[in-house]
Amino acid sequence: MSEHLFTPGPTPIPQAILDVLARPILHHRSVEAQGVFRRIQPGLQQVFGTSELVLVLSCSGTGAIEAAMCSLGRPGEKALVLNNGKFAQRWVDMLQIFGYEVVDIRVPWGMAAEVQHLHAALESHPNIQQVWMVHSETSTGTFSDIKSLAEVVHQKSDALVCVDSISSLCAHELHMDAWGLDVVVSGSQKGFMLPPGLAMLSLSPRAFAKSEEATIPCYYFDLRKARASAMQDTTPWTPAISLICALETSLEILLAEGMEHLWARHEANASMLRSRATAAGYRLYSSSPSNSVSALYIPESRPTLAKDLLSQYSIRVAGGQDHLKGKIIRVGHLGAYTTADMERISTALEELMP
């Protein structure tokens, strides 16, 4: 019996995508490859809600964040991070390594980054150039309202709004242009239902303008090079072309469902899991639960919950990270999940509650 993945990345891969991955390799400098690059662009723009170029980098999500950090700034510039979990902490660490002066706004894990966290910080720290926020903090299963946060950033500063949308894109509504988002990053192994290995990111015209003056050293991850190549329907270096071919099919699947339906399905799946689990006696870790992943406290009476899900139901979930290790499980419902899948995980959780 094969394993049922309920992890927030990698997510299950639909058969139509697996079929594309089994095809013979396409040469990345061929006319056919250029055609793939040209055809994926409108679909990516629809998913991101932008009319800007969406760049596809051959790396995981973290690589695209690194690319943005080194392509958009100068050492010594101030960057603010709304730090409410493990991924936000990673962005703090990386900004420091690249020489930014980091304003680290700590928000307790399990809580959303809120507008009030931003107001005071932006007032007491003028000249902030970038504000980083995580749309769905995967370490805690927490959703933050980036639309409202972006509004405050624009009211109070000239900073770029930089969004880690790696686990939220496709699960939560996001409109890059309409919401004034300057940097939006996602990854292939999350809502795109692909294997790991691609990151997608888009920059607003303001962010591109900043990149022209950026001085942090980078070469492979230089977004100016990536953009120049993308305008010619190609990439500066050898891309993960097989994954890019599969991305074309991923976009067809996503857009056949339609963004509104996609968001609604994720909402319905997440609320079904949350209500069934809490009715069975589980407690949610987050006070602002995400539609991509649910973090549930492990009941004291079932400390082996994750192991039991795997051995008795062939269901793989993710555990807690850092101080949450052994305290929570994280159930992914980002990607190609049906009501029947949610029924399966909910029933298993109910049966395992002593």
Ligand X SMILES: *Cc1c(COP(=O)(O)O)cnc(C)c1O
Where on the chain is the footprint of ligand X (CB under 6 A)?
A: 8-9, 60-62, 87, 134, 136, 138, 164, 166-167, 187
Nearer CB in complex with ligand X: 136/269:
136
User: What's 317's DSSP letter?
Assistant: -
| Cα separation of the two ends of the chain | 25
Least gap, CB of 155 to ligand X (angstroms): 26
d(CA 70, CA 62): 12
Least gap, CB of 161 to ligand X (angstroms): 16
Nearer CB in complex with ligand X: 137/182:
137
Nearer CB in complex with ligand X: 71/157:
71
Give 67's contacts (C-beta < 8 A, 6+ positions apart): 57, 59, 201, 218, 221, 222, 223, 226
For residues 184 and 202, the answer to whether their CB atoms sit within 8 Å is yes
For residues 221 and 229, the answer to whether their CB atoms sit within 8 Å is no
Give 322's contacts (C-beta < 8 A, 6+ positions apart): 86, 139
Least gap, CB of 55 to ligand X (angstroms): 15
Least gap, CB of 162 to ligand X (angstroms): 12
Here the tokens at position 350 are 């109910």
Nearer CB in complex with ligand X: 163/348:
163
Nearer CB in complex with ligand X: 8/49:
8
Least gap, CB of 53 to ligand X (angstroms): 21
Least gap, CB of 285 to ligand X (angstroms): 15
Q: Residue 95: which of 151, 166, 160, 190 has the closest Cα?
A: 160
d(CA 176, CA 184): 7
Nearer CB in complex with ligand X: 157/294:
294
Least gap, CB of 293 to ligand X (angstroms): 8
Helix boundaries (H) for the chain? 15-21, 31-48, 61-72, 86-97, 115-124, 146-156, 205-212, 223-230, 241-257, 259-279, 305-313, 339-352
d(CA 42, CA 52): 10
Nearer CB in complex with ligand X: 89/346:
89
- Which helix (H) or strand (E) covers residue 329, if one does? strand 328-332
User: What's 181's DSSP letter?
Assistant: -
Least gap, CB of 62 to ligand X (angstroms): 3
Dihedrals phi, psi of 239, to nearest 5 degrees: -90, 165
